Amino acid sequence: MTTAANSYILWLTLAVLGLPLMASLSCFSIKQKVGWLAPLLSSILLLIASILASILFFQIGSEYEVSFSWVWFNLNQKEIALSILLDSKASIMMLIVTIVSFLVHVYSIGYMAEDYHQARYFGMLAFFTFAMIGLVMGSNLLIIFIFWELVGVSSYRLIAHDQEKETAIKAATKAFLLNKIGDIGFLIGLIILWSWSGTLEVADPNLISIPPFWLATAGVCMFIGVISKSAQFPLFNWLPDAMEGPTPVSALIHAATMVAAGAYLLVRIAILFTEDVLILIAITGAITTLAGAVGALFQFDIKKILAYSTISQLGLIVMAMGGGAVQGGYFHLLHHAFFKAGLFLGAGAIIHALHQVNQQSNMDVQDIRNMGGLRKKLPITFISFMICAAALSGIPFTSGYVSKEFILTQMTMWAGNEFSWRWIVMSCTWAVTFLTPIYTFRLVWFIFYRKPQHEHNIEEVPIIMRIPLIVLAVGSLAMLSSLSPFHISSVINVLQQSYPSTNTIISFVSIALILISSAAAFYIYKNQDAKNQKLVTPQYYLDAVSNYFSLLTLKLSEATRWFDKRIDFLIHGISYFQITVAHITGWADRYLVDGVVDGIAYSAKGVGAVTRSLANGKIQSYLLWAMAGLVIFIVWILY
Amino acid sequence: MSKQELLFFFSAFLFCSGLLIAVTKKNAIVVLMGIELMLNAANLNLALFNFQKRGMDGQLLALFIIIVAVCEAAVGIAIILKSYHFYHSSVLDQISDLKEKN
Amino acid sequence: MHLLSLLIFIPFGTALLALLVPSRYGNSFRAITLGVNIAQVIILLLVLSHYKYEGGFQLIEKIPWISIDLGAWGVLQSEYFVALDGLSLPMVALSVFILLIATLSSWTLEQNRKGYFVLLLTLNGAILGSFCALDFLLFYVFFEFMLLPMYFLIGIWGGTKREYASIKFFLYTLLGSILILIVIVALYISIKTPDTSDRIVHTFNVLHMQDFNNLIPDSLLALDSIKLVGVFSFRYWAFLLLFIGFIIKLPAVPFHTWLPDAHVEAPTPISVILAALLLKFGGYGLLRFAYPIFPDAAIHFSWLVGLIGLISIIYGALNALSSKDLKRLIAYSSVSHMGFVLLGIASATVEGITGAVYQMFSHGIISAMLFLIAGVLYDRTGDRMIGNYSGLSSKMRSYAAFVLIAFFASMGLPGFAGFMGEVMIFFGAFQSSSVNGLLPVWMAIAATLGLLLGAAYYLWTIQRMFYGPFSTKNVTADLTDLNRREFSMLLPLALAALIFGILPQLLLNYINPFAGDFVNNLFQRGNLLTP
Amino acid sequence: MMQEVILYLFIGFSIMSVLVILLNRNVFYSALALLTCLISLSGIYGLLQAEFLAVTQLLIYAGGVLVLMIFGIMLTNRIAGKSFESKSHNWIPGILVTTSLLVVLVITFQNSSIKATQNELNTGNHIRNVGIELMSTYAAPFEVSGVLLLVCLIGAALTASSFKKSSHE
C-alpha cells in the first residue's frame, strides 16, 4: 500500500481510539445542569467511531497487516514504542467493541434515564471503550498492559456506579482485587520478557528467543492475567458478583468485551505459549467451562445465570485456544460478544420492565422464580432474547452454532485417535455443548413460558432500548459471519488460514446433541416447582479461599501493626532508659555539682544583699564606700 | 617634725575632714564645702611640692585645680538650686533616685 | 549566571528580610513566600533552558569556602560547590514545584504567620541547597539546616501530640545525621585533592571522593586497608553507616516509626514537604554519596539493600492496611513506595536506577497530593479516622474525584507517574540476577505483592469512606466541597502525575544519561576491587 | 622664725575652722568658717612662696566661691528661723573610713621619699615666671581652662535661668 493509504489508515485508527476518549472527557466535564447532553453526545461520537471502525475493518481486509510505531521513551538505551498493530483480528475486534459499545450506549439512554449521575456513567462507559480499543490495537506489551489496567479500573468504577449500594461496592472491590492478581501476573510476565529479550513488541521475533524455562514462565504469568480478566478457574468468582453493576455495564464489560480481552490476549501473544503452557490453558479452560455450566444450572438470579454462562463460554473459548481450535475459539469470542450482549440487554429490559411496575413492592426483580409468562407482554424482548439464547445454545442458523461446531470439529481432530489427556479436554467440550442448552432453555422457560407468577401490567421497554436488542439479535444470526449456516465459510477470512474441511459426522452429532438437550430442558423444568428451592450461588469454595486469604492478610497487617508498636516500644524503652539516666545525672548534677555552685551563688547572693543595702541610692553612701574601697585599694597596693 | 612634714600632715587632715564633711553632712551646700576642702588639701600639697622643687609646675597645677573647683562650685550651686526647686529640699537624704526600686 | 546560587539563597535572604517586617503585617508574609516561590519557578525555567541533555554536571559554581591549614594534619578544604546532573535536576524541579504548592496550602494559616513563613523559607533554601551541593560538608550543613525548621514547624503548628512527634522526628534524623557525620569525618581524613604533591589537602569534594586515586594510602578507608572492625573492613562499615543514616530518612523498616507520627501530627503543608521532599534525601543520599563513594561495599551489600527495600514494601503496605487514620495510612504507603526506591537502587541496573529516580519524583508528586487530600478533610472536620466517615463522595463530589485520582495514581495505575517508576524498578530488579547477579529473582517477584496490597488498602479505604450511604460519626462540621484554592493546588499535581505518566521521556531525558553513567561507574570501579 | 609662727597660726586657724564646719549645725556658720579656712590657706600658700596662688585663692575662693555659696544658702534655706540647720549622718562609718584614710596617708608619707628632699629656695620673680610658664609651656591647659570656664558659665547660667523661669510659673 502507498504511504497515503497508510496515513489514511493511521488517521482512521487514531480517530477510532480518540473519539471514545473525547466522548469520555466531554461527559466528565459536562455540567450537571445539562447532564442530559452527555448520553446523546457520547452515543453520537461512538456511532461515528463504529462507522470509522467498520471502514477500517474493510480497509484492512483479511490479508493486510499494518503497524505504526513512535518512540515513547528510552530505557537503558532501548526504545519502548507506542506501537499499533492492525491485522484482521484486531480490526474485527475493534469493530465489535465499537458496535457493541455504541449499542449499549443507546440502550443506556433508556435504561439509565432516571439516574442522577448519568454524565459520570456515560463518561466511564466511553472511557472503557477507549481503553478496550487501545488494548486491542496496541502491539507493545507495556501499552497493552496499561490499557489492560485501565479497563479494569473503568470496570471497577462502573460496577460501583450505584455508590450507595453496599453489595455493588464490595463486588467492585473484589473484582478489582482479583483482577489485580492477574495484572501482577501479567506484569511479571512482561518483566521476564523485557529482561531476557529487551523488547516488548508482540510482533518482534526476538520476543521469544529467550531461554525456554523463562519463556514458559512468562507464558504462565501472562496466562494468570488472562485467568483473572477472563474469569477462569480459580479466579472467576468476581464475575457473578460483578452483576451488581447496572445491566448495560454487565452486557458491555462482563459479557461482550472486557472478559473477552483475556481471550483476545491469548490470540495476540499466541507465539509465547509453549506446548506445556498450552496444556495448562486447555485444562484450565475445561475446568472453567464445566464449573460455569453447572453453576448456571442452579442459579435463580437472571443476571447470575448469564454470568455463569459467560464463565462457561469463556472457558470454552480458552480451552479451544489452549487446544487446537484457535480459530474456532476466536470466532466464538466474536459471536459470543453479540449474543451474550443481546442476552444481557434482554435481561436488562425484563428487569427494567418489572422494576417499573414493582417499584413499591419488595420483590426481587432479578429472581426468575418471580417471572413467567412474559412472552406476551414483552414480545420484542422475547424474540430477540430467544434468538440470542438459541445462539448461546448452538442451535443451527445462528452464529453460535457455526462457531461451536467449528470448535467441536477442531477439538475432535486435535484430540486425535489415540486416547490421551486430550480426550478429557475434548469430552469437556462435548459435555458443555450438551449442558449449555439445558440451562439456557431453563432460563427461557422460567421467564417467558411458565405461568405468570404475578399479575402485572407490564409494558414493553421504550423504543430506544428495543433497537439495540433487535440489532444484536440480528447480529447473532449465522449469515453475518458465515455464508453457510452449518459450517464456517466466512466472507472474510479472519484468521488468514484455510478452514478445515467440515466433518459431517461431527456436525450431525452436535446438532442432534444440541436439539436433544434443548428439548430435555423444557421437559425437565416443565413440572418443576422452584418455589421452595433455595437461592444458591455455587462458588466452589473459591470465595471461602479468597476470604481466607484476605482474612490472613488482615491478620498479617494486624501483626505488623503490633510489631510496629513493638518497635516504638523499643524506641520508647531506649528513650525512657536515657531519660532515667538523665534524671539520675540531673539529680547528681543538681545536688552534688550544683550544690557547690549553688553554695557559691548563695554566698554571692548574700554578699550582694549586703552590698545592695549599701547601694541605698544616696550619693554620700556611694562616696563613703568608694573611699573605703580606695583606702583598701591603697593598702592592697602598697603593703 | 619639719615644716614640710607638718604641712603634709595638715593637708592629709584637711582632706580627711573634707571627706568626712562630704560624707556626713546632709545639706548639699555643706557637702560642697567639704569637697572644696578636699580640693584645697590637694592644692596645699601641690604648693608644698612646688616649694620643694625648682620650677612652677606645682603652682600652675594648683591654679588649674582652682579653676576647675570654681567651675564645679558654680555648677554645683546651680544644680543644688535646681534640685531644691524640684524636691523642695536641699537635703540629700530625700534625693535618692539612684536607688534601685524594689 | 549564578542560577543555582540564586535558587538557593533567594529564600534565605528573603527570610532574613522578612524577619525585619513587623509581625502585625501577617498577610504580607505569605505573599512574600509566594513571591519567592514564583521567582524560583522562573529561575528553574532558566535552569532547564540552560541544561543540556547529555548528562554530567552542569551549571557548576565552585568557590573556595573553608581552607584551614592544620599543620601536621594537612589542609582542610571545603568548597561552595553546586551543580546539577540528571539526579539532582528532577529533585530540584520537584522541590520548587512542591514548595510552591506548600505555600498555597499554608495560605489560610492563622497562627503566628511570621514565624511560620520565615521557617518555611529557611526550609526552602536548605532543601534546594542540599539537592545542589556537591561538597559533602556543604551538603551536610544544608542537610542539618533542614532539621531545625522542620522540628519547629511540626512542634509549634502541629496537632495534639506534636511535641512527641517532633522530638521523635528530630531524634531519629539526628541519629541518621550523626552516622553520616562519622563517615564524613572518616572520608575527610582519607581523601586528598589530586593536584597537590608535597602537602596533603583534605577535601570534602564529592567528585574527588569518588576517585580511588585520591585515597590516601594506608588511611582509614584505603582500598587495601586490612584493618578489620568486627567482620568487615572500615570501608564496609562506612558504607553501612551511610546506608543506615540515609534509610532513616527514606525511611525504611525498621527505622520508619518516626514517619507516621510526624505525618499525623504535622500540619498539612509540612506533611506535604516532608513526604514529597524530605524523604527523597534518603534515596538521593544513597545515589549521590553512598553508592559512588563505596562502590565495592555497595555491590557487596546490595542484597541487604534489596532485602530492606522488599521488607519495607510489604511491611509498609501491611501496616497501611491496618491503619485507622487516613494520614497514617498514607504515611505507611510512603514507606511502601520508598521501599521500591531502595529495591531499584539495590538492583544496580540502569533500569533500576532510572526507576528509582523516577519513583522518587513521582512519589513526590503523588504523596503531596495524598497529604493535601487528607488535609482537606482535616480542615473541615478535624477528624481523620477512616471509620468515622462513609459515603463522602455523594457530599463532596470533586473531592472524591481527586481522591480517586490520587489513590489510583498511588497504587500504580498505568497512565500515572507512579506506574512508570514502579515498572522500571521491576524491570531492573528482575534483570539484576541475569545482568549483574546482585538480587535474586524472587525479590522482584515478591515485591509485586506490594502492588496487590496497595490496591487492597486504597480500595478498602475508598469503599469505607467514600461509597455507601452518607454518614459521619463524631463529626458535626459542614462538609463542603473543595474550594477554589484547594482545587488550584490539587489540579496541577494531578496533571503533573498524569503528564509524567504519559510522557515519561520528559523526565527520562535527564535521568537516562545519569543512570547509564552511574551504573558504568559503579561496576568499573566496584569490580576493580573484586579479586 | 617669724614665718613658722605665722604658719602655725594659719594651720591652727584652719583646723579650728574645719572643726567648726564639721561640728556645728548651722550652714551659715559653716560658710563663714570655710571662709576663715580658705583665707588661712592662702596665707600658707604665701608662706610657701606661691604668691600668685595665694592671691588667686583669696580672690577666687574667698571672693567668688564663698559668695556664691552664701547666695546658695540664702536661696535654698529660709533665712528666718532655725532652717539653717544641717543634719548629719553616717558618723561612725565616716569616721572609720576617714581615720583609716588618714592613717594610710600618714604612713604612706612616712615611708615616702618626699620628706627627705632638700628645701631649695626658689628665687626670682615668681609671678612673672608664672605668666611666662602659663603662656608657653601650659598654653594648652590654659586655653582649655578658659573654654571650661566659659562652658561652666553658660551651664550655670542656663541651669539657673531655667530654674527662675520655671519657678516663676
ipTM: 0.65
- Whether A624 sits inside 8 A of D108 (CB atoms) is no
Is A175 touching C (CB cutoff 8 A)?
A: no
| pLDDT score recorded for residue C126 | 92
User: What subunits make at least 3 CB pairs under 8 angstroms with C?
Assistant: A
* Alpha carbons B54 and C296: distance in angstroms, whole number: 93
Is A192 touching C (CB cutoff 8 A)?
A: yes
- Whether B8 sits inside 8 A of D18 (CB atoms) is no
What part of D 52-71 touches B (C-beta under 8 Å)?
52-53, 56-57, 60-61, 64-65, 68-69, 71
Residue C341 banded pLDDT, cuts 50, 70, 90:
very high
- Whether A74 sits inside 8 A of C257 (CB atoms) is no
Tell me, yes or no, whether D138 and D81 share the same domain.
no
Q: Which range, of A16-20, A46-50, A479-483, C338-342, averages the lowest pLDDT?
A: A479-483
* Alpha carbons C48 and C33: distance in angstroms, whole number: 22
Q: Which residues of A touch C449 (CB under 8 A)?
A: 184
Is A631 touching D (CB cutoff 8 A)?
A: yes
Any contact of C with D, at least 3 CB pairs below 8 A? no
Q: Encode C230-275 in three state secondary structure.
A: CCEEHHHHHHHHHHHHHHHHCCCCCCCCHHHHHHHHCCHHHHHHHH
Please give, rounded to a whole number of angstroms, the shortest distance from the CA of B101 to a CA of chain D.
22
Is A621 touching D (CB cutoff 8 A)?
A: yes
D116 compared with C90, residue with greater pLDDT: C90
Which of A613, A627, A632 should we substitute to test contact with D (largest number of D Cβ atoms within 10 Å)?
Answer: A627
**Hunting for cell 467449528 — which residue is that?**
A406
How far CA A472 is from CA of A334, A390, A398, C383, in Å, comes to: 12, 13, 12, 52
Give the mean pLDDT of B59-86: 85
pTM of the full predicted structure? Answer: 0.75
Is A624 touching D (CB cutoff 8 A)?
A: yes
Q: Among D61, D141, D167, whose Cβ lies nearest the Cβ of B85?
A: D167
3-state secondary structure at position A138: strand
pLDDT at A149 exceeding the cut of 50: yes
**Hunting for cell 580672690 — which residue is that?**
D59
| pLDDT score recorded for residue A4 | 63
CATH number of the domain where residue D43 is located: 1.20.120.1200
Closest by CA position to A187, among listed C334, C435, C450, C302: C450
Please state, rounded to an integer, the average pLDDT across all residues of chain D. Answer: 80
Give a yes or no: residue D157 inside a domain: yes
- Whether A181 sits inside 8 A of C452 (CB atoms) is yes
pLDDT at D168 exceeding the cut of 50: no
User: What subunits make at least 3 CB pairs under 8 angstroms with A?
Assistant: B, C, D
pLDDT at C471 exceeding the cut of 50: yes
Is B87 touching D (CB cutoff 8 A)?
A: no
Is A127 touching C (CB cutoff 8 A)?
A: no
Please give, rounded to a whole number of angstroms, the shortest distance from the CA of A604 to a CA of chain D.
23
Q: Which residues of A touch B99 (CB under 8 A)?
A: 615-618
Tell me, yes or no, whether D68 and D137 share the same domain.
no
Is D94 touching A (CB cutoff 8 A)?
A: yes
* Alpha carbons A96 and A401: distance in angstroms, whole number: 19
CA D19 to chain centre: 15
What part of C 344-373 touches A (C-beta under 8 Å)?
349-351, 354
Q: Which residues of C touch A550 (CB under 8 A)?
A: 456
Q: What is the pLDDT of residues C441-460, one digit of tens each?
A: 888 888 888 888 888 888 88
Give the mean pLDDT of C303-307: 90
* Alpha carbons C471 and C459: distance in angstroms, whole number: 19
| Cα nearest neighbour of A200 on chain C | C427
- Whether B16 sits inside 8 A of D101 (CB atoms) is yes
Is D79 touching B (CB cutoff 8 A)?
A: no
- Whether B23 sits inside 8 A of A622 (CB atoms) is no
Q: What is the pLDDT of residues C413-435, one digit of tens each?
A: 888 888 989 989 998 888 888 88
- Whether A618 sits inside 8 A of B97 (CB atoms) is no
Q: Among D21, D159, D166, whose Cβ lies nearest the Cβ of B33?
A: D21
Domain boundary (D29, D55, D87) is at D87
Q: Which domain holds residue D168?
A: 127-169
| pLDDT score recorded for residue A407 | 82
Q: Which residues of C touch A72 (CB under 8 A)?
A: 504-505
Give the mean pLDDT of D128-146: 86
| pLDDT score recorded for residue A1 | 46
Domain boundary (D87, D116, D137) is at D87
pLDDT at D80 exceeding the cut of 50: no
Q: Among D37, D56, D117, whose Cβ lies nearest the Cβ of B66?
A: D56
Closest by CA position to C90, among listed C365, C366, C491, C367: C365
Q: The CATH number of B3-95 is which of 1.10.287.3510, 2.40.128.260, 3.30.70.20, 1.10.340.30?
A: 1.10.287.3510
Give the mean pLDDT of C188-198: 75
* Alpha carbons A159 and C404: distance in angstroms, whole number: 15
3-state secondary structure at position C434: helix
Count up the domains in chain D and report the number: 2
Extract the C-alpha cell encoding A388.
440470542
| pLDDT score recorded for residue C355 | 92
Please give, rounded to a whole number of angstroms, the shortest distance from the CA of A73 to a CA of chain C.
5
| pLDDT score recorded for residue A483 | 53
CB pairs under 8 A between A and B: 29
Closest by CA position to A403, among listed A414, A394, A415, A416: A394
Give a yes or no: residue D116 inside a domain: no
Do residues C220 and C185 lie in contact, with contact meaning Cβ atoms separated by under 8 Å? Answer: no
| Cα nearest neighbour of A624 on chain D | D94
CB pairs under 8 A between A and C: 130
Is B33 touching A (CB cutoff 8 A)?
A: no
Give a yes or no: residue D10 inside a domain: yes
| Cα nearest neighbour of A628 on chain D | D97
- Whether D93 sits inside 8 A of A628 (CB atoms) is yes
Extract the C-alpha cell encoding B16.
580627711
Q: Which residues of A touch B92 (CB under 8 A)?
A: 618-620
Domain boundary (D33, D56, D87) is at D87
So where are chain B's domains? 3-95
pLDDT at A525 exceeding the cut of 60: yes
Q: Which residues of D touch A624 (CB under 8 A)?
A: 90, 93-94, 97
pLDDT at D169 exceeding the cut of 50: no
| pLDDT score recorded for residue A528 | 65
